[in-house]
């Protein structure tokens, strides 16, 4: 104990000492328990008592075990992680030496390792770490064999031990370009702090998930030097199945209670990143194969193969010997036939010894004890089985009570889950790109695919009357024509009033000064329809199929930027890495920052901000073009060559440092749209129409509105 205390002293604790101690512990443990097993084997050979334990457990031969599994971390960085699961983690492995002490108790020496990882995302704090873990220790396990049948093949396991672990933890603080991450309140990651003087030129960057910064050597958490080694107490539960004379299969979960709070680098004295003061723990969920080194004696096989058979045995004592008995295990006293099977005098399928009505009528329906079931009882059973009115239910009203734990006492009947909505637009196959922003500016809008058409609706009501009230209000506001539709739980739409609704953007334009801003989170944009089952856990997904070649998915609307940003964090955590917040107002998409804004003089700006018609000079400087793609870094050579084949490609550089490649130049939106369709047919996927005003790029919708003034 003096030597161990010396090793654990912080002042003298080092790598060399730890290796010496682990080696000494490992060798001495093997020697001690091998001698113990040999002594017990000698005593067993000298004994003349007959053991009731199975042969594969009464032997004291050692086992070697190898296994794999997952390592899960429990600490400050995943306290609020609802997705934390013992089946979700990093790869782990182990090797173990197991020596039976008795038929129900084993001694174990185990070495294990793997990797832990956690990534915290929130508006308040964003931390991460990855750690390489190694451990070695000793323990005992108990298999309950002294309570099980001698010939059992499966046995439950519990165990406890003592071990040393080492860890090497790193954090991902820099991008692949060696740029520090700065987490903004909108949920994005940028190259500059949000409160810096030049934050308007900050660009978005993505994490590379390469953990390059040594937490122990860095000043990230403002703590003193600490040990990268710790003691731990592993507690194991599981089960083991014997799958052969020398092999067994084990499934187990081992929770390692450690004595350190530094695996993730965060403790209760970590400056601005203060932890909760609790230790970091590890869960190892594993499967393993074990091999027994015993050799079977051929003489034992010869003895085991000899069976003494009693040809006149009658195990169930029914008067028919087992050799001729077709129904073994007949209850004592039951009447049987010449084959030893129970009699059924009335042929109702219930044997006489368990029949409460031995003389049921031929063909009668009987219950499990042979009693005839009347027609009235059959009708009553039918009514109870198909009860939809509640007449046969013991519960007559919907009740929520404190006396019922973890459930609601509620009579369940047939509930109509169809919803009603107001149809405001119908499109053949796709929505024109210039109407997408107008539609997304409507707070309670939704879209459905129905027979090759896209139906746009607003509202979701339990009754038709509520939907008609909304329709009347829309008509009062000048929005016509509209339709009433019914939507079933499978998202199938049925028209109620059979009107063809038409979406007109001008009808939905509000007061430009006082119009409300609608925030949404764009989950993804795809050139083909995505697997929509991935979105079923997200709030009210809206699918927009537009004629720019993309299918976009948005969440439901939010009235504040903070709530949308919080939702975006949850969506990013769910695995949708490309999600971002977008804002709409009166049919226009509102920029969330100054990146890529158009910088025009007063003379040029008047065409955009005023309600006056454009002058001839302004019309000459307003063109429609087709954007082929945008690149921040050098464009790939093969793509550039493909662009150059068109002969009319221009480069336009924005303040966001992206270079956009556009083709064509047209005075009308229709001409540009026709050219875009030609490009799509040539394989230029994802191209779309944009406006260019005095050499600055604006949206096609904004350009069209300027021409319509």
Tens digit of pLDDT for each residue in 567-577? 887 787 777 77
C-alpha–C-alpha distance, residues 598 and 654, integer Å: 9
Domain range for 526 is 419-590
Residue 424 lies in a domain: yes
Residue 251 lies in a domain: yes
Q: Measuring CA to CA, how many Å separate 372 from each of 261, 345, 377?
A: 71, 15, 10
How high is the pLDDT of residue 124? 76
Counted domains in the chain: 3
Q: Are 170 and 129 in contact (CB under 8 A)?
A: yes
Residue 621 lies in a domain: yes
Residue 88 lies in a domain: yes
Helix or strand run (H / E) with residue 133: strand 128-142
Q: Which residues of the chain have pLDDT under 70?
A: 1-60, 80-87, 270-272, 295-311, 379-416, 509-515, 529, 539, 548, 591-612, 632-633, 654-657, 709
User: Could you give the 3-state DSSP secondary structure of residue 219?
Assistant: coil
Nearest Cα to Cα of residue 131 among 239, 242, 214, 29: 214
How high is the pLDDT of residue 709? 66
Q: What are phi and psi of 463, to 5 degrees?
A: -125, 155
Residue 96 zone, left/alpha/beta (φ > 0; ψ -120 to 50; rest): beta
Check whether residue 570 and residue 640 sit in a common domain: no
With 0-12 CB in 10 A as exposed, 13-18 as middle and 19+ as buried, what is 262?
Answer: buried
Residue ranges of alpha helices (H) inside 621-668 are: 637-644
Residues forming beta bridges with residue 286, ordered by sequence position: 69, 252
Check whether residue 578 and residue 620 sit in a common domain: no
Q: What is the DSSP letter of 211?
A: -
Residue 225 lies in a domain: yes
R_g over Cα of the chain: 38
Check whether residue 541 and residue 665 sit in a common domain: no
Check whether residue 623 and residue 568 sit in a common domain: no
C-alpha–C-alpha distance, residues 643 and 374, integer Å: 84
Q: How many CA atoms lie within 13 A of 482 on its CB side?
A: 23
Check whether residue 214 and residue 95 sit in a common domain: yes
CA end-to-end span of the chain: 91
Residue labelled with tokens 């900050």 = 202
Check whether residue 109 and residue 253 sit in a common domain: yes
Give the CATH number for residue 494: 3.30.70.1070
Token code pair at residue 586: 């009166």
Domain end residue (candidates: 292, 315, 350): 292
Token code pair at residue 472: 């009347």
C-alpha–C-alpha distance, residues 96 and 107, integer Å: 10
Residue 391 lies in a domain: no
Check whether residue 517 and residue 619 sit in a common domain: no
Check whether residue 95 and residue 243 sit in a common domain: yes
What is the maximal distance between C-alpha atoms in the chain?
Answer: 117
Check whether residue 286 and residue 141 sit in a common domain: yes
> Following DSSP, what letter does each residue of 11-70 receive, concatenated?
TT--HHHHHHHHHHHHHHHHHHHHHHHHHHHHHHHH--PPP-S-HHHHS---EEEEEEEE
C-alpha–C-alpha distance, residues 138 and 110, integer Å: 6
pTM, whole model, 2 decimals? 0.46
Q: How many CA atoms lie within 13 A of 195 on its CB side?
A: 0
Domain end residue (candidates: 590, 615, 649): 590
Residues forming beta bridges with residue 250, ordered by sequence position: 240, 288
Q: What is the DSSP letter of 399?
A: B
Check whether residue 550 and residue 606 sit in a common domain: no
Check whether residue 482 and residue 440 sit in a common domain: yes
Q: Measuring CA to CA, how many Å separate 150 from each of 120, 143, 362, 462?
A: 51, 13, 49, 64
Domain end residue (candidates: 558, 590, 622): 590
Check whether residue 522 and residue 575 sit in a common domain: yes
Q: Are 275 and 74 in contact (CB under 8 A)?
A: no
C-alpha–C-alpha distance, residues 144 and 157, integer Å: 7
**238 contact partners, CB below 8 Å, separation of at least 6:** 156, 157, 250, 251, 252, 253
C-alpha–C-alpha distance, residues 357 and 345, integer Å: 10
Give pLDDT tens digits for 224-242. Answer: 778 899 999 999 999 999 9
Token code pair at residue 538: 């997200």
Residue labelled with tokens 């006082």 = 514
Residue 560 lies in a domain: yes
Give pLDDT tens digits for 123-173. Answer: 778 889 999 999 999 999 999 988 988 888 999 999 999 999 999 999 999
Residues forming beta bridges with residue 74, ordered by sequence position: 281
Q: Which long-range contacts (CB under 8 A, 24 or more apart) does 492-495 make?
A: 492/450, 493/448, 493/450, 493/455, 493/457, 495/423
Residue 320 zone, left/alpha/beta (φ > 0; ψ -120 to 50; rest): beta
C-alpha–C-alpha distance, residues 686 and 626, integer Å: 10
Give the CATH number for residue 278: 2.40.160.20
Residues forming beta bridges with residue 688, ordered by sequence position: 627
Nearest Cα to Cα of residue 266 among 69, 426, 381, 125: 125
Four-point Cα dihedral 411, 412, 413, 416, nearest 10: 130
C-alpha–C-alpha distance, residues 176 and 157, integer Å: 47
Q: What percent of the chain has pLDDT over 70?
A: 76
Q: Are 287 and 67 in contact (CB under 8 A)?
A: yes
Residue 129 lies in a domain: yes
């Amino acid at each position: 104990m003096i030597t161990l205390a010396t090793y654990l002293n912080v002042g003298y604790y080092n790598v060399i000492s730890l290796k010496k101690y682990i080696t000494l512990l490992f060798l001495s443990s093997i020697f001690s328990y091998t001698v113990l097993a040999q002594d017990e084997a000698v005593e067993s050979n000298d004994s003349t008592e007959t053991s009731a334990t199975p042969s594969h457990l009464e032997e004291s031969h050692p086992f070697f075990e190898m296994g794999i599994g997952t390592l899960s971390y429990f600490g400050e960085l995943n306290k609020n992680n609802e997705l934390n699961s013992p089946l979700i983690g990093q790869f782990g492995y182990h090797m173990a030496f197991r020596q039976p002490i008795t038929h129900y108790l084993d001694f174990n020496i185990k070495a294990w390792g793997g990797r832990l990882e956690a990534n915290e995302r929130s508006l308040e704090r964003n931390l991460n770490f990855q750690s390489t873990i190694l451990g070695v220790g000793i323990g005992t396990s108990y298999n309950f064999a002294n309570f099980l049948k001698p010939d059992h093949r499966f046995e439950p396991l519990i165990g406890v031990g003592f071990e040393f672990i080492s860890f090497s933890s790193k954090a991902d603080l820099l991008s692949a370009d060696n740029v520090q991450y700065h987490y903004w309140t909108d949920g994005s990651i940028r190259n500059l702090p949000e409160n810096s003087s030049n934050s308007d030129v900050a660009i978005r960057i993505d994490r590379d998930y390469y953990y390059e910064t040594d937490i122990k050597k860095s000043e990230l958490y403002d703590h003193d030097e600490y040990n990268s080694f710790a003691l731990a107490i592993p507690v194991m539960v599981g089960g083991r199945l014997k799958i052969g004379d020398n092999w067994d299969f084990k499934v187990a979960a081992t929770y390692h209670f450690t004595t350190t709070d530094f695996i993730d680098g965060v403790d209760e004295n970590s400056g601005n990143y203060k932890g909760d003061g609790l230790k970091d723990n590890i869960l190892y969920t594993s499967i393993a194969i074990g091999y027994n080194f015993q050799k079977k004696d051929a003489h034992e096989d010869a003895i085991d193969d000899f069976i003494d058979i009693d040809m006149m045995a009658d195990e169930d004592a029914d008067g028919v010997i087992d050799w001729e008995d077709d129904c073994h295990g007949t209850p004592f006293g039951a009447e049987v036939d010449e084959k030893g099977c129970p009699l059924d005098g009335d042929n109702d399928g219930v044997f006489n010894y368990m029949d409460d009505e031995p003389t049921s009528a031929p063909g009668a329906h009987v219950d499990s004890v042979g009693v005839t079931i009347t027609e009235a009882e059959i009708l009553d059973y039918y009514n109870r089985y198909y009860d939809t009115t509640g007449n046969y239910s013991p519960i007559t009203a919907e009740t929520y009570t404190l006396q019922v734990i973890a459930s609601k006492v509620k009579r369940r009947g047939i509930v109509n889950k169809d919803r009603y909505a107001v149809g405001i637009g119908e499109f053949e196959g796709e929505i024109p790109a210039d109407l997408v922003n107008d539609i997304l500016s409507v707070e309670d809008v939704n879209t459905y695919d129905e027979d090759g058409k896209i139906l746009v609706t607003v509202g979701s009501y339990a009754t038709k009357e509520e939907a008609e009230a909304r329709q009347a209000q829309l008509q009062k506001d000048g929005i016509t024509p509209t339709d009433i539709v019914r939507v079933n739980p499978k998202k199938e739409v049925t028209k109620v009033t059979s009107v063809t609704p038409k979406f007109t953007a001008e009808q939905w334009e509000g007061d430009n000064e006082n119009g409300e801003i609608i925030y949404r989170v764009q989950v993804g944009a795809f050139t083909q329809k995505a697997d929509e089952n991935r979105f079923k856990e997200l709030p009210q997904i809206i699918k927009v199929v537009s004629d720019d070649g993309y299918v976009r998915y948005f969440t439901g609307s939010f009235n504040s930027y903070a709530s949308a940003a919080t939702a975006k964090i949850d969506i990013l955590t769910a695995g949708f890495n490309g999600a971002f917040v977008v804002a709409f107002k009166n049919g226009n998409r509102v920029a969330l920052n100054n990146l890529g804004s158009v910088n025009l003089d007063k003379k040029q700006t008047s065409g955009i901000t005023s309600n006056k018609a454009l002058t001839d000079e302004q019309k000459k400087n307003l063109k429609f073009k087709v954007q082929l793609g945008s690149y921040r870094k050098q464009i790939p050579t093969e793509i550039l060559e493909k662009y150059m084949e068109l002969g009319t490609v221009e480069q336009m550089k924005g303040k966001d440092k992206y270079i956009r490649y556009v083709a064509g130049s047209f005075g009308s939106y229709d001409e540009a749209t026709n050219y875009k369709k030609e490009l799509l047919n040539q394989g230029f996927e994802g191209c779309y129409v944009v406006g260019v005003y005095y050499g600055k790029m604006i949206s096609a919708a904004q350009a069209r509105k300027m021409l319509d003034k």
